[in-house]
Amino acid sequence: MIALSVVAVTALSGTAANAAPPDANEQDRRFLVQTHQDNLAGITAGKAAIDKGRDRDVRALGKRLVADHTKLDAEVRQVAQRLAVTLPAEPTTAQRIQYNRISARSGDAFDWAWLSVAAIDRRTALARGARELAEGASPQVKRLATSAKPVLLKHLELLRRHSGSSATAGEPGKPGRTTSETVVTREGR
């Protein structure tokens, strides 16, 4: 009877240990939520570029963003599930408003606005990753930040290259002004 009790206690304690979520601090949870929303926004924006982009480079970059953010988000969702972090179902209100405004444009104006906001979003995501590496506690979440960095840097490189490849290089009515030099007003951020 004592042996059976020891086996039962050992089995239950192993189950309880496996059920407890690993340590994650508030920074880790915030990073997972924000990165998930960034990925959802990146997928939405990529689809908009595929559908509305005038320039073939913008459409190609849109496809790349959809593929990359879909893959990154699958990793985020797995880690969030392991850490028992609930993720929202959609991008932030500010992200939805921003992409609705961009989608209301057409032609070169759409391409220019899309490239501008996409570059800003990538820089914001890189800063979030750096903050996670500095302040996060979970090795799993830190690995996500580390693995996303080269993808985001590649996106920035492609955005810079594409922003100079067509009429999207300058703000409409202001030739020669590149999107990397232009500040787009970001409400709610």
Domains of the chain and CATH, by start: 24-181 (1.20.1260.10)
**% of the chain surpassing 70 pLDDT:** 75
- Residue 137: helix, strand or coil by DSSP? coil
- What is the Cβ-side half-sphere exposure of residue 77, based on CA atoms within 13 angstroms? 11
C-alpha distance from residue 14 to each of 19, 73, 79, 153 (Å): 9, 31, 21, 42
How far, in Å, CA of 87 to CA of 35, rounded? 10
Q: Does position 169 have pLDDT exceeding 50, yes or no?
A: no
Q: What is the pLDDT of residue 171?
A: 41
**In this predicted structure, which of 16-30, 51-65, 88-102, 164-178 has the lowest mean pLDDT?**
164-178
Provide the mean pLDDT of the chain. 82
**Cβ contact 111:64 at 8 Å:** no
- Over range 35-48, report the average pLDDT: 97
pLDDT tens readout for residues 106-119:
999 999 999 999 99
pLDDT at 23: 84
Cα distance between residue 135 and residue 155, in whole Å: 25
pTM of the model: 0.76
Count other C-beta atoms under 10 Å from residue 141's C-beta.
28
CB atoms within 10 A of CB 46: 24
pLDDT of residue 119: 95
- pLDDT tier for residue 177 given thresholds of 50, 70 and 90: very low
Tell me the C-alpha to C-alpha distance, in Å, between residue 59 and each of 10, 97, 118: 57, 21, 13
Q: How far apart are CA 111 and CA 123, in angstroms?
A: 19
Contact 126, 152 (CB under 8 A): yes
Which tens digit of pLDDT belongs to each residue from 118-162?
Answer: 999 999 999 999 999 999 999 999 999 999 999 999 999 999 988
For residues 45-70, average pLDDT: 97
Helix or strand holding residue 156 (H, E): helix 139-163
